[in-house]
Amino acid sequence: MTSPANDVVARLLELSALGRYDGGIDRGLATPPERAARERFAYWARRAGFTLSQDVVGNLFARRSGMHDVAPIVVGSHLDTVRTGGAYDGAYGVVGALCALQILDRDKCVTTRPVEAVAWAGEEGSRFPLGCLGSSVFAGLTSEGDALALRDNDGISLNAALQSRESGSLPDVPVRPRQETAAYLELHVEQGPVLEAAGVSLGVVTAIAAQRRYRAIVKGASGHAGTVPMERRSDALCGAADIVLAVEREARSSAGAVATVGHVKVEPNGTNIIPLRVSLSVDIRSSEDARVEHIERALQTVIAETERRRGVQIALERLEVRAAAPMDARLRAALHRSCAAIGQPALDITSGAGHDATCLSRVAPAAMLFVPSVGGVSHIGAERTEDRDLELGVAVLAAAIIEVDRDLGQN
């Protein structure tokens, strides 16, 4: 039997063809395949009788009316992908939101508030250099002007890309009037191994992790690999290795924290040359801000000690600071009730990955529901979630919208 919950599988399959290549799915914001994904969303929304609107940065909304024209419950995620993306990260939450609205229709459910399914623009930051672009503008954390002025690697601005006929805003879709958000719910694949390992199909997110990103530059002295005695060396790569291992050690000793050095560049990078300069990335995350701060302080201590001991110079530059985003207790309770109502246990889980819900949580109560990722993998073409879990997530989301609508009332 087909129901809106089954539709989620077929629609995700349809979207997965857009931007597909050997390495996965590449659907950067305001590219032709991403625009095609917005067209599909618009087509499904129109066919279901929902009202479409968009804003200047490309966020796209499908609205199902409520009894009163008050602040809506907003439900959604993103349609863009990383350059080697899969079919579920983001797209699931957008299609799932639309299907949840259609379940309300099927069940002739009248909500007090309007409910909007939203496709946020550019969550991944894979084309324009700002993550959660659309939701950040929506929440007032980034100005429209700053967002539109962002340029991709080819020097094309977001503004220009959104004016283009092949990749830009949808014609005939009116501008969304500004309105407060009563509550925000986001359905997403976990992108990690926790739910699968626990044998549970649903996760209620307690908090989205705090995250800090850095670039460390280690400068040493170059020289001939055969002639400079060991005691006279200031090897930049050995200094960098001290940092890499310290990052791992500090995260391991701080419960729930994770830290990664994922990018290293060695200069001159020759087999018989002592490394002169090493640039490395550091990424630290935890659901508690204090733990991230603690690891940063420990890293600074290690850096000072490494400089002294090895005669290298190390500069640590903070590139990004994101505070932890605790999810709203009332909405989490509503999600748990909705899971319990269909006899499915749900696990409380923290999100190590950033999401649009981080931005929305600054302006409205926000919460997230996770479904398992097979093998715990994501951001690759092979990422996958079982059909049964996809359908379950949508059913719970629809039930949660009703719970939240009741809970909030009209005021």
- Toward Zn ion, which CB reaches closer, 7 or 89? 89
CB contact at 8 A, 184 and 241: no
- Toward Zn ion, which CB reaches closer, 20 or 294? 20
DSSP string of 134-198, one letter each residue: HHHHHTTSS-HHHHHH-B-TTS-BHHHHHH-TTTSPPTT-PBPPP---SEEEEEEE--SSHHHHH
Q: How many CB atoms lie within 10 A of CB 217?
A: 16
Scanning 35-43, 86-94, 164-172, 309-317 for contacts with Zn ion by CB under 5 A, the matching segment is 86-94
Scanning 90-98, 237-245, 310-318, 399-407 for contacts with Zn ion by CB under 5 A, the matching segment is 90-98
What the block records as the tokens of 130 is 């700002």
Figure out which of the listed residues 4, 28, 58, 90 binds Zn ion, where binding follows CB under 5 A: 90
- Toward Zn ion, which CB reaches closer, 20 or 337? 20
Site for Zn ion in 233-252 (CB under 5 A): none
Least distance from Zn ion to the Cβ atom of residue 92, Å: 9
- Toward Zn ion, which CB reaches closer, 118 or 274? 118
Scanning 88-96, 100-108, 110-118, 248-256 for contacts with Zn ion by CB under 5 A, the matching segment is 88-96
What's the CA gap between 398 and 338, in Å, rounded?
Answer: 9
Least distance from Zn ion to the Cβ atom of residue 248, Å: 26
CB contact at 8 A, 395 and 5: yes
What's the CA gap between 189 and 368, in Å, rounded?
Answer: 10
Residue 22 CB-density burial (10 A; 0-12 exposed, 13-18 middle, 19+ buried) = exposed
What is the chain's Cα-based Rg? 23
Least distance from Zn ion to the Cβ atom of residue 362, Å: 18
- Toward Zn ion, which CB reaches closer, 26 or 89? 89
Print the binding letters for residues 348-367 with Zn ion: x by CB under 5 A, - otherwise. Answer: --------------------
Print the binding letters for residues 42-81 with Zn ion: x by CB under 5 A, - otherwise. Answer: ----------------------------------------
3 state DSSP class of 379? coil
Scanning 84-92, 102-110, 199-207, 297-305 for contacts with Zn ion by CB under 5 A, the matching segment is 84-92
CB proximity list for 326: less than 8 A, separation 6 or greater:
206, 207, 361
With CB under 5 A, what is the number of residues at the site for Zn ion? 2
- Toward Zn ion, which CB reaches closer, 188 or 332? 188
What's the CA gap between 100 and 94, in Å, rounded?
Answer: 10
Least distance from Zn ion to the Cβ atom of residue 371, Å: 13
Least distance from Zn ion to the Cβ atom of residue 370, Å: 11
- Toward Zn ion, which CB reaches closer, 99 or 240? 99
**3-state secondary structure string across 318-337:** EEEEECCEECCHHHHHHHHH
Least distance from Zn ion to the Cβ atom of residue 89, Å: 4
- Toward Zn ion, which CB reaches closer, 66 or 90? 90
CB proximity list for 106: less than 8 A, separation 6 or greater:
3, 4
Ranked by CB distance to Zn ion, the top (closest) residue is: 90
Least distance from Zn ion to the Cβ atom of residue 25, Å: 13
Nearest Cα to 92, choosing from 400, 402, 403, 387? Answer: 387
Least distance from Zn ion to the Cβ atom of residue 193, Å: 17
Residue keyed to tokens 């529901």: 369
CB proximity list for 140: less than 8 A, separation 6 or greater:
363
Scanning 85-93, 198-206, 237-245, 296-304 for contacts with Zn ion by CB under 5 A, the matching segment is 85-93
CB proximity list for 281: less than 8 A, separation 6 or greater:
213, 214, 215, 216, 261, 262, 263, 264
Residue 89 touching Zn ion (CB under 5 A): yes
Q: What single letter denotes the amino acid at residue 151? A: R
- Toward Zn ion, which CB reaches closer, 121 or 236? 121
Site for Zn ion in 255-314 (CB under 5 A): none
Least distance from Zn ion to the Cβ atom of residue 271, Å: 40
Least distance from Zn ion to the Cβ atom of residue 291, Å: 23
Least distance from Zn ion to the Cβ atom of residue 48, Å: 24
Q: What residues line the site for Zn ion (CB under 5 A)? A: 89-90
